Chain A
Amino acid sequence: MTRYLCQRLLLMLPTLVLVSVMVFLIMRLIPGDVVSLMFSDLGYASSLEAMRARLGLDQPLPAQYAHWMADVLRGHLGESLWTQRTVVSVIAERLPVTLELAFLALGFAVVYGVGTGLVAAVWQDRWPDMVLRSVAMAFLSLPTFWLGTLAIVLPSLYLGWSPSIQLVAFRSDPLGHLAQFALPAVLLGTHLGAPLMRMSRAMTLEILRQDYIRTAWAKGLDERRVVIKHAFRNAVIPPMTILGVQMSQAIAGSVVVETLFQLPGMGSLLVEAVAHRDFPMFQSLVLCVALFVMAINLLVDLACLAIDPRLRGQAG
């Protein structure tokens, strides 16, 4: 396991370099008009040349990359052109909110997706299976911003309730804080859980047809034991492998949810950075998200090793 972990960490390095090169180049591919906008309309500098100098665009490309990576490795992500605050301080404020939302949403997605997938598989082609599959497809198809708007408007109309309009700190009111995140997490989680549900169902169906399961039935084990103890552990691995992808979707989906529910997270920060052409902020955010997704993928792989002993042998 330790050897596998070290190997994976080493493999992350070239991936990180590749991601940083891609982020770096994408920023520089933005048309000159944007730099002109930043100078003339947003007033980030007193002249076009000063604007280019401020962004480091007046130097050769390799030099720009070297300076930028040196700063990143030292933890200097630059200053926001829009707010003039350090990027690090802004991300430090916003990151916990998005992380909490993303983890809660993913947690709900796993419980909802894997759980309903299991149930659908056990009740294959009967009404629970059809209902659960239809619901999953519905949540996958309906846009989050529409569902979110309904989730805010309908309770206010019929129950006289609307979400809190400011962030409730965990320390001051733990239950209130969790309650505030519950609705947006469920909203995001139902969207993320749909593919998990379908994959769980498919895997469970396949596993339930295996010989060892048939043997378990033949031995007279009860259904719960067969499904939970024998089938579930094998069925849950493939859906877990897509959690890394789901995490990046959770961050992308958090943009709408954070805006609707007044959660000051990184999703809305990303949108603001794009809208305000905040070059340093946007660049750093994309790098952060990429780093985060890679870390999640590593954790998922380690989790899979923990669940499936066969994989430990292959990894070891």
Chain B
Amino acid sequence: MLIHGRAAWHAVTRLGTIGAVLLIATTFSVPLAAQPKSGGVLRLVERADPVGFDTLGKKKASVYTQSMLAFTHNRLFRYGPKGDVVPDLAVSSTHPNATTYVVTLRKGVHFHAKPPVNGRELTADDVKFTFERLPGSPEERLFPTLKRVTTPDRYTVQFELSAPFSAYISTLAATTMYIYAKEAGKPTADGARDYTAADTVIGTGPFVLEEYREKQRIVFKRNPTYFETGRPYLDGVEVYFIADSSAQLAALRTGKVDLIPVAAGQGLPHSLAAEARAIPGATVIKQSLFQTSENVIGRLDQKPWSDLRVRRAVSLAMDRAALMKAMYPEGADLISGPIPVTSRYNIPVDKLGEAAAFYRYDPAAARALLVEAGYPAGFKAKLYTTVGYGPEYVSRTELLKDMLSRIGIDASIVVQEYPVWISGTYKGNYEGLVHIPTWTLGDEDEWLATYTPGDTRNQIHINEPKVTQLVHGAAEASTEAARAKLIGQFVGTFHEQMWRVFLPQAVLLTVISNRVKGYALTIRGYTYAPALVNVWLE
């Protein structure tokens, strides 16, 4: 039945008004920022199991152990999303004199409510106990000058050093320095405590370990008493151990997992990036990590590497753009070394002045330098590499050989088995050239220390008193400005002298489902778990 007359007119105008209001509202409305939602279980993949759950045991902690403990434990400090050091269990630190650091702990932080710790409060004694575990542990190397740890009160820890160490606070953020509860560990015959077993995983972290099935998965549940109120948003996290990258992508594609993170310093292979992008509802994210790239080295105490002109010639022979295009289609940094390109002390190539010229590709100039150095016909040399880093690594060695041949360096590749490599060549026992990685994620001081005589990673046999002075000075600098200046001088000197010829550093790839919100990439350390505190699921 039709509506006639005035009633119809009123209906039309009423509807029209409502429609106009809606139109205006949708046109000019400001979208609300996404609000975190509590609940849900995030599922992600790792390549391998942790090997025990102790980062301060007698054996060097696996990177997967460090990664998993980041779910359940805290450190005094940790790395923020930009690689900066931020407080974790600590609220503040002071530096009353050159050899003393005082750290104040948060109050009201509780261990997980699991026996035998039963949810008690964290105190300074737990920190002291943790540091007392260092002697005999491989992590003792992080604190060579630590003399004594005392606890003036329940929430204060005082570290006394035998010599200044300006990176002390950032070293406390190392991804092995989790704080342990003494009673959680199992007593050992020598009176120590062992934290290898899964039932000793009792920390103060945002998640509680609920289940561990070896080679299968680890299940974490939300810690209801976590010290960051309202966090984590997730009810839990399930970590599945899938070694093969294609299988990882298949699991993400079929909705069995939500995240393939950059883990243990590795991400999704570049060759699978296109396949990952084709997954509906998934995003591929690129990042540079706090690590340095592969490089070519020789012995500075032997010819021909002792000649700066030869080192510069090798650098000029490196067609880095071609290498990046062939091996890293998703992108790479031109070089990353001698300290990581993501370090705050890094000097970009375009700011290196005259030294920048030797990072271009110029085989003609390279040959001219070799002539000047007394090698008009080039020279022969062995080029060592290893299968221990996978077949793609050896493929890159072959590309390097080809590039060297264009300037007259006849490099014969010697492929070594990993045990022979790591116990010989990697420690500096070689003649000729080496294609070598420097992939650890330590602090800048760890990188710089490799350029001092006596360091086990002084593979290039450098012994320059001025460099040693710079390295020690940076470690002992009393202010950040002084430290930055000394490291800057080192970096500048390094590039002038080209002691290592650095190659491109690939960007790393994370693949994430679009239902995962709030995930911040971690550029430093082996751990992404702290970032999951702020993650929620749509």
Contacts and interface: CB of A to CB of B under 8 A. Distances in A.
A261 B241 CA distance: 11
B162 interface: no
Among B216, B243, B247, B249, max chain A CB count under 10 A is at B247
B14 interface: no
Nearest to B420: A33
A109 B417 CA distance: 36
B87 interface: no
B246 A152 contact: yes
A298 interface: no
B236 interface: no
B214 interface: yes
Contacts of B419: 31, 33-34, 36-37, 277
Contact of B242 (A42, A153, A165): A165
A215 interface: no
A161 B214 contact: no
A71 B52 CA distance: 26
Interface in A167-188: 167
Q: What's the dominant secondary structure at chain A's contact region? A: loop
Nearest to A268: B215
Contacts of A166: 213, 216-217, 240
A166 B250 CA distance: 14
Contacts of A93: 214
Contacts, number: 89
Interface stretch (B119-127, B251-259, B370-378, B517-525): B251-259
A152 B52 contact: no
A161 B242 contact: no
A161 B254 contact: yes
Contact of B247 (A44, A262, A268): A262
Contacts of B251: 156, 162, 165
Contact of B244 (A40, A149, A167): A149
Contact of A36 (B60, B253, B423): B423
B478 to A, nearest CB: 35
B58 interface: yes
A192 to B, nearest CB: 22
A44 B250 CA distance: 37
B420 A260 contact: no
A181 B418 CA distance: 34
Contact of A153 (B52, B59, B196, B246): B246
A149 B247 CA distance: 7
Interface string A251-287: 0000000011110100010000000010000000000
Contacts of B213: 166-167
A34 B247 CA distance: 32
B423 A40 contact: yes
B281 interface: no
Interface in B213-253: 213-217, 240-244, 246-247, 249-251, 253
A157 interface: yes
Interface in B243-279: 243-244, 246-247, 249-251, 253-254, 256-257
A142 B136 CA distance: 50
A37 B420 CA distance: 8
A157 B240 CA distance: 21
A82 interface: yes
A217 B376 CA distance: 86
Interface residues on B, range: 20 to 34
B138 interface: yes
B36 interface: no
Given A93-B214, A165-B240, A33 B59 contact: no
B196 A84 contact: yes
B51 interface: yes
B52 A33 contact: no
B200 to A, nearest CB: 13
Contact of B60 (A31, A43, A163, A268): A43
A259 B246 CA distance: 11
A223 B171 CA distance: 81
Contacts of B424: 33
B422 interface: yes
B216 A264 contact: yes
A165 B59 contact: no
A152 B250 CA distance: 7
A125 interface: no
A57 B246 CA distance: 42
Interface in A30-77: 31, 33-34, 36-37, 40-44, 46
A44 B59 contact: yes
Given A43-B58, A44-B59, A162 B420 contact: no
Interface residues of A, number: 35
Interface string A74-95: 0000000011100000000100
A157 B241 CA distance: 21
B214 A165 contact: no
Contacts of A261: 247
A160 interface: yes
Nearest to A261: B247
Contacts of B246: 149, 152-153
Interface string A9-33: 0000000000000000000000101
Interface string B53-90: 00000111000000000000000000000000000000
A37 B388 CA distance: 13
B214 A156 contact: no
A261 B244 CA distance: 9
Contacts of A40: 423
B244 A31 contact: no
A152 B253 CA distance: 11
Given A33-B423, A44-B59, A166-B216, A83 B253 contact: no
A161 B136 CA distance: 49
B254 A156 contact: yes
Given A34-B419, A277-B419, A156 B59 contact: no
A84 B213 CA distance: 17
A118 B6 CA distance: 91
B309 to A, nearest CB: 35
A268 B215 CA distance: 10
Contacts of A277: 419
A260 B247 contact: yes
A128 to B, nearest CB: 34
A167 B241 CA distance: 11
Contacts of B242: 165, 262
B253 A157 contact: yes
Contacts of A156: 249-251, 253-254
10 contacts: A31-B420, A43-B138, A82-B51, A83-B51, A83-B52, A149-B244, A153-B246, A156-B253, A162-B254, A262-B242
Given A37-B422, A167-B216, 19 more contacts: A33-B424, A37-B418, A37-B423, A41-B60, A42-B59, A44-B59, A83-B51, A152-B246, A152-B250, A156-B251, A157-B253, A162-B251, A163-B250, A165-B240, A166-B240, A260-B244, A262-B215, A264-B216, A277-B419
4 tightest A-B CB contacts, nearest first: A264-B215, A156-B250, A162-B250, A162-B254
